[in-house]
Structure formats: structure tokens, C-alpha cells
Amino acid sequence: MTATRPCVLVTRALPQDIESRMRDMFDVRLNADDIPMAAGEIVAAASGADVIVPTVTDRFDAELIARLPETVRLLANFGVGVNHIDLAAATARGIVVTNTPDVLTDDTADIALSLMLAVPRRLVEGDRLVRSGAWQGWSPTFMVGRRLTGRRLGIIGMGRIGQAVARRALGFGMRVQYHNRQRLAVEVEHALDATWQEDLDVMLAETDVLSINCPYTPETRHLLDERRLNLLPRDAIVINTARGEIIDEAALARCLADGRLAGAGLDVYEREPAVEPALLALDNVVFAPHLGSATSESRSAMGEKVIANITGFLVRNDPPDCVDPQ
């Protein structure tokens, strides 16, 4: 590390208050244009840097990590998910990786519930109709959707966000079940009125609304493939606020187009920012542009987490949110 102020490279524009605090604390290199940086640009900009602050739009694969200057010792990720970083390669280079957990739980759960409401009540479809000027007025049979009350919610991944989704769903009178690597404590299940389903296939067959809230790992890539999507009832809807790669988007599009599923609400995408063209052609899909943590409260709190991780690493070699490479 440098003898003067630590040098920190930030790959994307962050909230102004966070950038101001970083300027006061570090020799910071900011991305004023907020244009995603190519690998070569990151390597060049990181010359002499102690810390890089990447985001989900940066792919730190083994090749890029091998090219980073020797001075880089910390990747202080702005975000919870770190599937865009090759953790094994970082560890081999002696680079520590941190993230920003706990601060975006409620906002991501809110997006999940927003999509759960928007899809079956056809809100976006209705908005387009009104804006077009083609709406002819109310009718008893016009744009009839489905209510949430009484419907069976299946949650894949019952961590902080999954539990927050379950709490919100209770307010709509939904019946909650979940699939998780480990069963929750009995008292937590009781508080959420949630039932554990050890077998994912069994849960899917008994689910009206599916909410994906698990991390993306090699094991969860295309966890929802065509076979599993076909296990859902024909009037089911799929909500994804986790990572796009967990669903086979082409298979999802086929199921929706063929009437094997009723609808989907997506905030994340398999090849983000690109979206499967077959999905874009469907009226029964509601799209959001990765808005899960997009509140001023969350983004500032994420920035404070990044700063805490940088200072914890530099001062004590003990950042509070170190990611386990395993």
C-alpha cells in the first residue's frame, strides 16, 4: 500500500455523497462518465491503486485479475452478489473481496412484491393501453386478472431477502412455502407461517407464484430449466429479482408463449443488459431494469459499506464484509 493516502479506483459513478466522502478519505479515481470500463481500461486505470470498487457490470474473471497491478489488494464490491468476480483467482493473487450485504433487503423484497402485483393484475398492459388512447372505458369482462389472496407462494432461497418477501406476502393472505439448502429454525418458520419443501420439484408443482431469491452459483445456473418450469401449474407466474442466469430465459419464453405459464416479472436477465428477444415479444411479462436496490437509501448504505470495508482492510486488515472464497 502507498505511504500516503490509499489509492482507490471506482469503476462506476456512485451516489454523490459517497463520492464526496471518498474524496475526503482517499486518493480516489472516479468514473465521471459512468460508462462501463473494458478490461484493458480497468487495468490501465488501476495502475498504482490499492483498492478497486467494482460493480455487477464489471467482469473480473481470472484473466483480468491476473493482469491487475501488483499494488491491488482489495476488490470492495458495490453490491451483494459477487458472481462477476472469480473468487478463486482473486484468492490466488492474494486479493481480498468484500461485498455490501444486509442493506438492500427491504428494497429488493419490495420490487418482488411490486412485480407480483403488476403481473396478475396486468398493470403495465393497462398503462400502455391508456397511454395509447385506445381505452374505451370500463367493462365487466375487460382486462380481468388474478388476485394474490389465497395463492400459494413458493420461494427459492430463504435468506434475508426471501424472508422479507415472505413477510410481505403474509399481508396479502398468501400461503408461503420455501425451498432452501437448509431448513429455517422452527420459530422463524412459525413467525413467517412458512412451510419447508425439501424437494424443489414437489414445491414447484404446488406453487402459484414463484419468487426466486437464491444466490447465483454454478449449481443454480438454469436451476429453472424447461423441465422444472413445466412442473408449475399453467396459471402460475414467475418472479425473478435474484440473478438472471438462474432461469433459462429461452425456455421461459417458450412456456409463456405456449400458455404453459401465465406470466413473469423480471428484474434481472441472463445476458444483462440484453434480454431474450422472445420474452420482449410477450404481453404477459413485466420487465424492470435491475431496480432491486435502486433507492437512494440503499445505494447510500451500500456506499457506506464499501467505505467501511476499505478502511477496515487498510487499518486492521479486517474488512467487516469479507466474502468467503468457498
Q: How far is CA 184 from CA 59, 190, 196, in A?
A: 33, 10, 8
The one catalytic residue among 29, 243, 270, 276 = 243
What's the CA angle centered on 228, arms 231 and 279, to 5 degrees? Answer: 100
Catalytic-residue membership of 243:
yes
The one catalytic residue among 19, 206, 226, 272 = 272
Which residues, at least 6 apart from 184, have a Cβ–Cβ distance to it below 8 Å?
158, 163, 178, 192, 194, 196
CB 319 within 8 A of CB 313: yes
Nearest C-alpha neighbor of 242 from the set 121, 119, 109, 153: 109
Separation of alpha carbons 288 and 71, rounded Å: 38
The one catalytic residue among 206, 222, 290, 304 = 290
Nearest C-alpha neighbor of 244 from the set 200, 290, 285: 290
Helix, strand or coil for residue 115?
A: helix
Separation of alpha carbons 292 and 100, rounded Å: 14
Length of the chain counted residue by residue: 326
Separation of alpha carbons 162 and 148, rounded Å: 17
Nearest C-alpha neighbor of 167 from the set 187, 185, 193, 149: 193
Catalytic-residue membership of 70:
no
Catalytic-residue membership of 272:
yes
Instruction: Give the residue numbers annotated as catalytic, written as ranges.
Output: 243, 272, 290
